[in-house]
Structure 1
Amino acid sequence: MAITVKLLDKPFNPGACVGPFTSAHPGLGAVCSFVGEVRGEDGVEALELLHYDRMTVRGMERLARNAAGRFALMGLIIVHRTGIMLPGESIVLVSACASHRRAAIDAVDYCMDHLKADSWFWKREKREGNWHWVEPRTADHADLARWSE
């Protein structure tokens, strides 16, 4: 089972990641990908994600291993941006391939719920020229709780 985790400080093209990832897993029955982008709604001018590199990369790798152990995957890739991003730029890509669709879909959902509510990033948004810290929403925590054992 191949796992790839990347933490980037520059823009990336999700399609350029998913194509080779899918091609590297011949015989897959399903691939599921999620791409999160900076929303420009409600006056958001920019988004910034700060992190502590050593903790973040290790946490992302642990999350990927947990997902791989929980779901019958052939491969998993997690790519996450940091730094300042503008509306329309990709923040995150999670892609999983498996023999069957449910494992791929659930693995991506599991990873995203953890990245949204229990991750290693400090997030703030810029609106009307001012920066404001953003905390996970109640719904993000409820989504994460679904995976409790």
Structure 2
Amino acid sequence: MSSPRVFIQAADFDLATEVAALRADDKRVGAVCSFVGIVRDRNDGDAIASMELEHYPGMTEKSIEAMIDEAHRRFDILGARVIHRVGLLHPLEQIMMVAVISAHRGQSFQACEFLMDYLKTQAPFWKKEQTPEGSRWVDARVDDDAALARWGIEAGNA
């Protein structure tokens, strides 16, 4: 049985630990590409005190698993792992991680970017920011849809 690839959790994570688990002493691995997202303290010019993330348990994991399967079809990768935190987060806290392993760096870079573009537009998460003026839901952005479109996937969120 293969190890889990998608983790939706409130707890923080350690990048080195997650990459080590993904690699699991696989001697074929020649490259690891990772991206860690951090909660920003500003968005659209406004100060952000906190961000709260919600999701549909089960549906979110299934959606991200399907995109990892698609990354395996498109790129010559050996594995991928996605962690996305939910609940209340504050500026400078880690919000998510994508890590991809492959024999060569190019495939890892491309697959990591592909998965990031998907997560930004298609993963079923809802984000609410707390600003000095009150709370607001974060809307999809046209530029995120354009990033996904370069992979041949139309989003139509924004």
Normalising by the residue count of structure 1, what TM-score does the alignment of the two structures yield? Answer: 0.92
The range that moved more, 127-136 or 46-55, is 127-136
SS at match of 1:53: coil
Count of residue pairs the alignment pairs up: 149
Partner of 2:136: 132
What per-residue deviation string (whole Å, max 9, x for no partner) do you get for residues 79-111 of structure 1?
A: 111111111111111011111111100100000
Partner of 1:45: 49
After superposition, residues 1-149 of structure 1 pair within 5 angstroms as 4-41=5-42, 42-128=46-132, 130-148=134-152
Q: Sort the Cα spacing of 1:26 and 1:141 in 2 relative to 1 into closer, same or farther, 3 A.
A: same
Mapped to 2, the partners of 1:3 and 1:80 lie a distance apart of 13
Following TM superposition, by how much is the alpha carbon of 1:3 offset from its aligned partner in structure 2, in angstroms?
6.0
Q: Is the CA contact 1:2–1:74 (under 8 Å) kept in the aligned structure 2?
A: no
The range that moved more, 75-84 or 125-134, is 125-134
Q: Is the CA contact 1:74–1:98 (under 8 Å) kept in the aligned structure 2?
A: yes
Give unmatched runs, 5+ long, in structure 1: none
The range that moved more, 19-28 or 96-105, is 19-28
What per-residue deviation string (whole Å, max 9, x for no partner) do you get for residues 29-55 of structure 1?
A: 211000001011341111111111121
Mapped to 2, the partners of 1:3 and 1:107 lie a distance apart of 18
Mapped to 2, the partners of 1:22 and 1:40 lie a distance apart of 33
Mapped to 1, the partners of 2:97 and 2:137 lie a distance apart of 23
More helix by share: 1
Mapped to 1, the partners of 2:3 and 2:144 lie a distance apart of 28
What per-residue deviation string (whole Å, max 9, x for no partner) do you get for residues 101-144 of structure 1?
A: 11100100000001001110111111116211101211101001
- Identity, in percent, stands at 35
Mapped to 1, the partners of 2:87 and 2:59 lie a distance apart of 16
Mapped to 2, the partners of 1:148 and 1:3 lie a distance apart of 27
More strand by share: 1
SS at match of 1:73: coil
Normalising by the residue count of structure 2, what TM-score does the alignment of the two structures yield? Answer: 0.87
Query: What value does the CA root-mean-square deviation take over the aligned residues?
Result: 1.7
The range that moved more, 110-119 or 38-47, is 38-47
